[in-house]
Amino acid sequence: MSDTKFISFNPGPSQLYPEIEQDIRQAIEEHFLSLSHRSEKLGEVVQRAKNNLRSYFSIPVDYRIFFVSSAVEAMEIALRNLCAQKSFHFINGAFARRFFNSAQQTKKNPVHLTAEEGKSFVFEQVKIPTDCDLVCLTQNETSTGVRLLYGFIEKVRKGHPDKLIAADIVSSAATERTLFELADFWFFSVQKACGLPSGLGVIIASKKALSKAKVQAAHGADIGAHHSLLSLDEFGQKNQTPATPNMLAIYLLGKRFERLIKTGIEAVEKETIEKANLLYKWLDYHATLKPFVNNSADRSFTVVPVVLPEGTTAKSVQEALKSHNMAVGSGYGTFKDSQIRIANFPQHTKKDIERLLEALDRL
Amino acid sequence: MSDTKFISFNPGPSQLYPEIEQDIRQAIEEHFLSLSHRSEKLGEVVQRAKNNLRSYFSIPVDYRIFFVSSAVEAMEIALRNLCAQKSFHFINGAFARRFFNSAQQTKKNPVHLTAEEGKSFVFEQVKIPTDCDLVCLTQNETSTGVRLLYGFIEKVRKGHPDKLIAADIVSSAATERTLFELADFWFFSVQKACGLPSGLGVIIASKKALSKAKVQAAHGADIGAHHSLLSLDEFGQKNQTPATPNMLAIYLLGKRFERLIKTGIEAVEKETIEKANLLYKWLDYHATLKPFVNNSADRSFTVVPVVLPEGTTAKSVQEALKSHNMAVGSGYGTFKDSQIRIANFPQHTKKDIERLLEALDRL
């Protein structure tokens, strides 16, 4: 098997998209990486990336796209710019908890509702204090593989029209249709379902989000210096960024989505769900491996945590898969040893998934 | 001429280092970009980059190295972590002013001393208010080409042993010996003298800087969430970063400095000064082109702004150089049209500089 091509099912950084080498070569040949970050050509590349994202995702006209350095940075930007009082956090895993911790560090006196590990929330139990002006949620938890239903987010939205909502779509972005109107601030990073090298975060923010940042700045609040929503927007209007960005990543992002547009997000979503069904069906009937998320409605399509039988460690599975030229992620946090996580992104074909399941069956 | 290789003298992003394509290919072949950012291998690559920087720069043992996303981000980190009262800013150009603006945005009530454009400071005129606990300076101004003498920085240091000093070495780092003991927080980005693609900033911070951050955090100050000095240090101890970093850039940085170590910083410095002398000598005797910085002691070795004769615009010079397969930077800010800027970095050989001067002479 070791002569077949290497493939990584790590949830992120994950498998790179197939044409990446040729795209990097082209960037170097065009001398793109030696251009001024204030040059016209860079502006064109930023615009191409934004246009392609907008087209692929069907981003509404009143939402703007910004480039930052990571999803974790985006959390801090959301908190500084959109929260004037207190933030409320739906915690369904380690990344949602990270968002909550960022709120503590930026002095937002955050409040939280924490779900049982591997489970989602019951809407009827949700009580968001009136003095919370920002609601933070993780639509697809990369640590636990718990996915929030858009129906749930819609209920939160409708129940709290006065509050802004920030949503982490780090590991679902590009794999399914995002219902942008249900939140004001969406963010993801590119080393997961986009198949790019790490080092770029993407924010998609509503007009309402920008207005809130403006009001806060006018009141003298600290909304951040180099990457406030306002500085991002000021430079973004010129297709620039406040600081010299990861130009290679923006270049590659534009190229990647140029190709994804041809497939279309509906087709990608359909294929993603088909591959997810394949994975979960296999898991549900497996003799020793079990899915971590039991309720099928809460299961992430793109990050599948698998509970290993006692005596088997993630490390041993990863080691065994090496000889098959494949990689999976370990479990996250306290599940580091007792689980593996399998990514199901657009760069993973159905054949790739089948190859992985076959190998896992033979271990 | 157009069949000769392309070379960029843009101050940044600048010419890439020669072996970059082979290094990127190797990173992809090793599947490095699909590895978990918490993996052992990533830790080794982070450590290699830090070790090579430490060795090349002779960084003192009590200074730590951190990776962030840009130099402008580093300014914000310095201000949030090292300034409890007020910051003082030596403004010798647009990037020093940017540092000052960041201090306003992070509510540090900054105070400044601003030099005449193209000139440096007179130490005898420096008065730093006692309630300023952080002094910010730009050792090599990329906009004006004004370099601060280390003798000047030493006098500031000795005159104010109670204050911390943060120093921007964005466009001089790697080209000359940095006297680390003279400040507590040094920072640069990699798309200038390191010859890398943009998207990575490097911070070199003293123990005193880390202690100050700790004291501030203990007092409940907002020192930043995802990239406070403390979170950078917590993860840095494990050769990790708080968020998924620009892994490709860290990989390339290690490779780049592995080679630079073989030359040694003394030899690089010697060559840099020789090339700078070549440039300034040519300029001093030129019929129509003039150096922007008149006092030779204040002239940057690495960024040379050139005043164009009336009627000649930066754009026309850049356009004319295109046919010679070369690029230079435009002037900065108000000098955008009336100046060009020539970078003199380690990836620019003496031959490259001669080729540029020859072409400029023929325009």
Residues in chain B with CB shorter than 8 Å from the CB of A226 are 70, 72-73, 75-76, 102
Task: Name which of A6, A25, A226 is nearest B73 (Cβ-Cβ).
Answer: A226
Helices (H), chain B: 20-29, 40-57, 71-82, 94-105, 150-159, 207-218, 229-236, 247-263, 265-284, 314-322, 350-362
In a domain, B297, yes or no: yes
Q: Are A290 and A331 in contact (CB under 8 A)?
A: no
Q: Say whether A222 and B20 touch across the interface (CB within 8 A).
A: no
Residues in chain B with CB shorter than 8 Å from the CB of A10 are 34-36
Q: Are A258 and A34 in contact (CB under 8 A)?
A: no
Residue of A143, A198, A247 best to disrupt the B interface, most CBs of B under 10 A: A198
pLDDT at B347 over 60: yes
Band the pLDDT of A148: cuts 50, 70, 90. very high
Same domain, A339 and A231: no
Q: Say whether B69 and A243 touch across the interface (CB within 8 A).
A: yes
pLDDT > 90: percent of chain B: 98
Query: Which phi and psi angles does B37 have, rounded to 5°?
Result: -75, 0
Q: What is the CATH number of the domain that holds B338?
A: 3.90.1150.10
Per DSSP, the residues of B330-363 read EP-GGGTTTEEEEE--TTS-HHHHHHHHHHHHH-
Residue A28: closest CA among chain B residues belongs to which residue?
Answer: B21
A positions 212-241 inside 8 Å of B (CB): 220, 222-228
Length of chain B: 363
What total of structural domains would you count in chain B?
2
Here the ipTM equals: 0.96
Asked if the peptide bond before residue B13 counts as cis, ω within 30 degrees of 0, the response is yes
Q: Is B358 on the interface with A (CB under 8 A)?
A: no
pLDDT at B360: 97
pLDDT at B321: 97
- Distance from C-alpha of A161 to C-alpha of A158, rounded to nearest angstrom: 6
DSSP bridge pairs for B290: B307
Band the pLDDT of B1: cuts 50, 70, 90. very low
State the residue range of the domain holding B337.
Answer: 7-16+265-362
Question: Which of A210, A234, A262 finishes a domain?
Answer: A262
Task: Name which of B33, B189, B242 is nearest A13 (Cβ-Cβ).
Answer: B33
Question: Which of B262, B282, B308 finishes a domain?
Answer: B262
Establish how many alpha carbons lie within 13 A of residue A56's alpha carbon, considering only the half-sphere containing its beta carbon: 28
- Distance from C-alpha of A133 to C-alpha of A164, rounded to nearest angstrom: 6
Q: How confident is the model over B232-261, as a mean pLDDT?
A: 97
Q: What is the CATH number of the domain that holds A30?
A: 3.40.640.10
Task: Name which of A37, A199, A244 is nearest B247 (Cβ-Cβ).
Answer: A199
Q: Say whether A28 and B21 touch across the interface (CB within 8 A).
A: yes
Same domain, B255 and B327: no
Q: Is B336 on the interface with A (CB under 8 A)?
A: no
Establish how many alpha carbons lie within 13 A of residue A258's alpha carbon, considering only the half-sphere containing its beta carbon: 13
pLDDT at B237: 97
**Contacts (Cβ under 8 Å, ≥6 apart) of B340:** B305, B306, B308, B314, B317, B318, B328, B329, B330, B331
Q: Are A224 and A208 in contact (CB under 8 A)?
A: no
Please give the C-alpha separations between residue B192 and each of A158, B10, B174, in angstroms, as whole numbers. Answer: 50, 9, 10
Q: Are A158 and A129 in contact (CB under 8 A)?
A: no
Q: Are B308 and B339 in contact (CB under 8 A)?
A: yes
pLDDT tens profile A189-247: 999 999 999 999 999 999 999 999 999 999 999 999 999 999 999 999 999 999 999 99
Same domain, B104 and B205: yes
Band the pLDDT of A3: cuts 50, 70, 90. low
In a domain, A83, yes or no: yes
- Distance from C-alpha of A21 to C-alpha of B25, rounded to nearest angstrom: 8
pLDDT at B253 over 60: yes
Q: How confident is the model over B18-25, as a mean pLDDT?
A: 96
pLDDT tens profile B146-175: 999 999 999 999 999 999 999 999 999 999
pLDDT > 70: percent of chain A: 99
In a domain, A210, yes or no: yes
Band the pLDDT of A1: cuts 50, 70, 90. very low
Same domain, B210 and B332: no
pLDDT at A188 over 80: yes
- Distance from C-alpha of B26 to C-alpha of A278, rounded to nearest angstrom: 34
pLDDT at A2 over 70: no
- Distance from C-alpha of B116 to C-alpha of A140, rounded to nearest angstrom: 54
- Distance from C-alpha of B68 to C-alpha of A87, rounded to nearest angstrom: 26
Q: Is B294 on the interface with A (CB under 8 A)?
A: no
CA of B110, closest CA in chain A: separation in Å?
14
pLDDT at B3: 52
Same domain, B92 and B231: yes
